[in-house]
C-alpha cells in the first residue's frame, strides 16, 4: 500500500517533485564532474608510466613522483644484465628546455623526453606509433601532443628551437598532454643534444625493463632489491610508480590539495542544494501525510512512503546525471580535457546524492511525529 501511495503521489504531484529531480540530477553532475576532473588531472602526472609498456622502472632511490626523477649511473645496468630473465632494458630521459617558434610565438618551457627509437622499444609505446618512432631516428626530429600545437605555435613539418637547437616536428601524438608544461619527445640522442645537462655516458633518468616469465619475477626482484641500497637505485612496478605519482600530485602538491578542497566544496554544495529542495518538496505534501495519519496510518507507514518517494526521485535524477555525465565526457574527450569518468566516481557521487535525498525527506517528515494531525489539517 505504501509503495502504491508513494508512486501515485509522484505521478499526480510531479510538478512539485520536478525541481527535486532536477536538484538531484545537477547535484550529482556537479560531484561527478568535479571527481572526474580531479582524477583526470592527477592521473596526468603519471602519463610517462601509464603510456609506456614497461613492467618495471629503475630510478634514483627516494623518488616521490615520476617527473621528479634524478640521474642514475650506467653502472647499475650491470645488475640488470646479470639477470637472464630480464627480457628488455632501455633508458628513459627527462630533461627541460625553452621552446621558441622559428616564426615567433610559442615561447614556453617544455619537458624534453628521450626514448629509445627502436621499433620494439617500450618507452611511451602506447602513444608513439611505430611509423613516428622510426622517424625519430632522424637528427633533431621530435613529436608533440596535438593538443599542445596551438600553445607551441607549430604545425606538422615545421621547425622550431629548443634551448637554441633547431628541431623538426615530424608529427603529432595523442595522449601525452601535460598538466602545465609541454612534452617534447625525441630519440635519446636528440634529447641529449637539446638538453646538454642530460648524461651522455649511458646514464639515464630511468631504466625500463620487463621480466620474461611471471614465475621468476619475485626471485629476480628479490636479488635486485638486495643490491639496490649498495648500488643506490630503486625499482618500482609500473603500477606502483604510477600510483605514487598520482598520490604525490593529489596530496603533496599545492595544486592537488587545492583541487581536492574545491571538490569537497562542490560535493557539500550539491548535498545542501539537494537536501533543501527535497525537504521543501516533502514539506509541501505534509497536509496529505497528516490526512493519512489522521486516518490511522502509523508513522512507520508514512516513513516507508517518504523513503519510496525519495528513492524514485533519487533514481530519476541519477539517470539524468548519468546521461549528462557521459555527454560531458564526450565533449571533454573532443577538446582534450583531462576528464576521467571512472565508474567509481559515478557510483560514489550517486550514493552520496541518494543518501542525502533519503535523509532530507526523512528530516522533513519527522515533524509529523510531534505534530497534531488536526493542527496540520487546518
Under a CB-based contact definition with an 8 Å cutoff, are residues 269 and 261 in contact?
no
Whether the CB-CB separation of 127 and 174 falls below 8 Å is answered with yes
Give the separation between CA 233 and CA 157, rounded to whole angstroms: 39
Is there a single domain that holds both residue 39 and residue 82? no
Helices (H) and strands (E) in the chain, counts: 15, 9
CB 95 within 8 A of CB 197: yes
Structural domains in the chain (count): 2
227 and 261 in a single domain? The answer is no
Does the residue 60 lie in any domain? no
State whether 263 and 228 are in the same domain.
no
Same domain, 186 and 259: no
Q: Which of 232, 264, 297 is the last residue of a domain?
A: 232
Q: In this structure, are 125 and 226 located in the same domain?
A: yes
The pTM assigned to this predicted structure is 0.81
On whether both 160 and 307 belong to a single domain, the answer is no
133: in domain? yes
Examine the fold and report which residue of 198, 232, 266 is the final residue of a domain before the chain moves on. 232
Question: Same domain for 78 and 225?
Answer: yes
> Of 233, 221, 231, which is closest to residue 59 (Cα–Cα)?
233
- pLDDT per residue as tens, the chain (378 positions): 445 666 677 677 777 778 878 888 888 888 888 888 888 888 888 999 999 999 999 999 999 999 999 999 999 999 999 999 998 899 999 999 999 987 666 678 999 999 999 988 999 999 999 999 999 999 999 999 998 888 888 888 899 999 999 999 999 999 898 776 799 999 999 999 999 999 988 999 999 999 988 888 999 999 999 999 888 999 999 999 999 999 898 888 766 677 778 777 877 777 777 777 777 766 666 677 777 777 777 777 777 777 777 778 888 888 998 899 999 999 988 887 888 888 888 888 888 877 777 777 767 666 656 545 555 555
Residue 104: inside a domain = yes
Residue 324 falls within a domain, yes or no? yes
**Is residue 148 domain-shared with residue 202, that is, in the same domain?**
yes
Domain boundary among 202, 232, 262: 232
142/10 same-domain check: no
Please tell me whether residues 160 and 91 are part of one structural domain: yes
Q: State the CB neighbour count (10 A cutoff) for residue 81.
A: 10
| Domain assignment present for 159 | yes
What is the domain extent for residue 119? 73-232
Asked whether residue 64 is domain-assigned, the answer is no
Supply 25's cell numbers: 540530477
Asked if the structure places residue 241 within a domain, the reply is no
Do 175 and 265 share a structural domain?
no
Looking at the domain assignment, is residue 65 inside a domain? no
Query: Are residues 343 and 276 located together in one domain of the fold?
Result: yes
C-alpha closest to that of 49 among 118, 124, 120:
124
Amino acid at each position: 500500500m505504501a509503495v502504491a501511495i508513494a508512486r501515485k503521489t509522484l505521478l499526480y504531484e510531479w510538478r512539485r517533485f520536478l525541481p527535486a529531480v532536477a536538484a538531484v540530477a545537477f547535484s550529482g553532475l556537479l560531484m561527478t564532474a568535479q571527481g572526474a576532473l580531479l582524477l583526470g588531472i592527477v592521473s596526468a602526472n603519471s602519463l610517462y608510466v601509464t603510456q609506456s609498456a614497461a613492467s618495471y622502472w629503475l630510478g634514483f632511490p627516494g623518488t616521490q613522483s615520476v617527473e621528479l626523477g634524478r640521474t642514475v649511473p650506467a653502472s647499475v645496468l650491470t645488475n640488470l644484465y646479470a639477470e637472464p630473465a630480464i627480457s628488455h632494458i632501455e633508458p628513459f630521459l627527462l630533461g627541460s628546455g625553452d621552446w621558441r617558434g622559428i616564426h615567433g610565438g610559442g615561447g614556453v618551457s617544455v619537458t624534453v623526453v628521450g626514448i629509445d627509437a627502436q621499433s620494439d622499444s617500450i618507452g611511451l609505446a602506447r602513444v608513439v606509433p611505430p611509423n613516428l618512432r622510426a622517424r625519430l631516428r632522424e637528427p633533431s626530429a621530435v613529436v608533440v601532443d596535438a593538443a599542445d600545437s596551438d600553445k607551441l605555435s607549430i604545425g606538422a613539418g615545421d621547425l622550431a628551437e629548443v634551448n637554441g637547437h633547431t628541431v623538426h616536428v615530424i608529427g603529432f601524438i595523442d595522449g601525452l598532454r601535460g598538466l602545465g608544461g609541454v612534452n617534447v619527445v625525441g630519440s635519446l640522442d636528440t634529447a641529449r643534444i637539446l638538453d646538454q645537462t642530460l648524461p651522455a655516458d649511458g646514464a639515464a633518468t630511468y631504466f625500463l625493463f620487463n621480466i620474461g616469465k611471471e614465475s621468476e619475477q619475485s626471485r629476480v626482484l628479490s636479488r635486485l632489491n638486495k643490491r639496490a641500497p649498495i648500488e643506490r637505485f630503486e625499482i618500482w612496478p609500473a603500477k606502483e610508480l604510477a600510483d605514487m605519482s598520482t598520490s604525490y600530485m593529489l596530496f603533496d602538491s599545492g595544486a592537488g590539495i587545492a583541487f581536492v578542497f574545491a571538490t569537497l566544496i562542490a560535493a557539500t554544495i550539491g548535498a545542501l542544494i539537494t537536501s533543501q529542495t527535497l525537504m521543501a518538496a516533502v514539506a509541501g505534501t505534509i497536509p496529505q501525510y497528516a490526512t493519512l495519519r489522521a486516518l490511522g496510518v502509523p508513522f512507520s507507514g508514512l516513513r516507508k512512503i517518504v523513503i519510496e518517494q525519495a528513492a524514485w526521485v533519487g533514481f530519476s535524477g541519477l539517470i539524468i546525471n548519468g546521461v549528462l555525465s557521459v555527454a560531458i565526457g564526450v565533449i571533454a574527450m573532443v577538446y582534450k580535457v583531462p576528464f576521467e569518468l571512472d565508474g567509481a566516481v559515478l557510483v560514489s557521487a550517486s550514493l552520496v546524492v541518494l543518501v542525502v535525498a533519503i535523509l532530507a525527506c526523512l528530516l522533513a517528515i519527522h515533524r509529523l511525529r510531534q505534530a497534531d494531525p488536526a493542527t496540520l489539517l487546518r
